Amino acid sequence: MSTAVRWAFNWKEWSPDRKEFEHAISCVQSDEKERLGKFVFRKDVRSSLAGRLLMRKFVNEYTGLPYDEITFIRDEHNRPQLKDNAAIVSFNVSHQGSYTVLAGETRDVKLGVDVMALEYTGGKSISEFFRIMNRNFSTAEWTEIKGSVPGKSEMEQISMFCRHWALKESYVKALGVGIVVDLRNIDFRTNSELSKDSVTTDTVLYVDGVKQNWLFEETLLDSQHCVAVALQENDKTLSHNTTFELIDYDKLMTHSVPLFPIDPPYTTQYFAKSEKP
Q: How far apart are CA 29 and CA 18, in angstroms?
A: 19
The pLDDT assigned to 237 comes to 63
- Residue 100: phi and psi, rounded to 5, are -115, 130
50: domain CATH number? 3.90.470.20
How much is the pLDDT for 122?
A: 85
Residue 254, classed as helix, strand or coil, is coil
Same domain? 62 vs 3: yes
Same structural domain for residues 126 and 178?
yes
126 in the same domain as 46: no
Residues 45 and 132 in one domain: no
147 shares a domain with 129: yes
Using DSSP's 3-state secondary structure scheme, residue 267 falls into helix
What string of pLDDT tens digits covers the 277 residues of the chain? 789 999 999 999 999 999 999 999 999 999 999 999 999 999 999 999 999 999 999 999 999 999 999 999 988 878 888 988 778 999 999 999 999 999 999 999 999 999 999 999 888 899 999 999 999 999 999 999 999 778 889 999 999 999 999 999 999 999 987 556 677 789 999 999 999 989 999 999 999 999 999 999 999 999 999 999 999 976 666 667 899 999 999 999 999 999 999 999 999 999 999 999 9
Cα separation, 3 vs 152, whole angstroms: 39
Helix (H, G, I), strand (E, B) or coil at 213: coil
Q: Are 244 and 219 in contact (CB under 8 A)?
A: yes
Please indicate, yes or no, whether residues 239 and 168 belong to a single structural domain of this protein. Answer: no
Question: Which pLDDT does position 180 carry in this prediction?
Answer: 60
> What was the pLDDT predicted at 87?
84
- Domain tally, the chain: 2
Residues 63 and 145 in one domain: no
Q: Are residues 113 and 229 in the same domain?
A: yes
Range of the domain at 224: 109-233
Tell me, yes or no, whether 83 and 163 share the same domain.
Answer: no
Residues 52 and 128 in one domain: no
- Is there a single domain that holds both residue 136 and residue 247? no
65 lies in the same domain as 93: yes
What are the DSSP calls for 180-191, one per residue?
Answer: TS-GGGEEEE--
